[in-house]
Structure 1
């Protein structure tokens, strides 16, 4: 039963850290251009030659 005294705050802290990381990624624009990377993969830029 004493282990719950440690596990519950650790679980809450990890959840809060994940939420903070998600909110930070939203604010910095990580999800702005979802289609850009998919289009860049398909472009045929002949950089090797």
Structure 2
């Protein structure tokens, strides 16, 4: 039973280390995307295909 307490303590410590590393990375601007907005205008927008218009055919007599 004592092994469970040791493993639980170690897992909480590892989780806290990763959480602190994430917070430090966010504060340092690691996840800021400064490249994509400057290049976005160079890409063409996707063309939207228009649906063909339905025509009503009438029978001439």
| Normalised-by-shorter TM-score class | 0.5 to 0.7
Segments ≥4 residues shifted beyond 4 Å: none
The separation in 2 between residues aligned to 1:2 and 1:23, in whole angstroms, is: 32
Please tell me whether residue 19 in structure 1 is matched to residue 5 in structure 2.
no
Task: Give 5+ residue unaligned stretches, structure 2.
Answer: 40-61
Q: Quick one: higher RCO (CA 8 Å, sep 6+), 1 or 2?
A: 1
Give the TM-score of the pair, scaled to structure 2: 0.53
- CA RMSD, Structure 1 to Structure 2 (Å): 1.7
Task: Return the offset for 1:5.
Answer: 2.1
Where in structure 1 are there 5+ consecutive unaligned residues? 40-49
Q: Say how many residue pairs are matched.
A: 37
Larger Rg: 2
